[in-house]
Amino acid sequence: MLWEKAQSSNIDAVGYDPTSQELQVKFRSGATYRYLMVPPEVYDEFKDLKFSGRFLNSTIKGAFEYERID
């Protein structure tokens, strides 16, 4: 999984594995969540928006199965 630092006030870093389509989001609070079956195009849009918390809330949360993993 490749990790990238986020330019977000709430998100610290984001990891994505295109093979398994797994997205992991590490929040500045210390919590980490795994989102399953996130298509590459959704990740690319998320990345292009500098890992926007607004995009995470409006497009990813609720649309993909997820779990807290920390």
The tens digit of pLDDT for each residue in 16-58 reads 999 999 999 999 999 999 999 999 999 999 999 988 999 999 9
Backbone φ, ψ for residue 26 (5° rounding): -100, 120
Cα–Cα distances in angstroms (integers) from residue 67 to residues 7, 49, 50, in the given order = 23, 23, 22
How far is the C-alpha of 29 from the C-alpha of 20, rounded, in Å?
26
Amino acid residing at 17 = D
According to the model, what pLDDT value does residue 2 have? 87
46, 31 contact by CB (below 8 A): no
Could you give the 3-state DSSP secondary structure of residue 33? strand
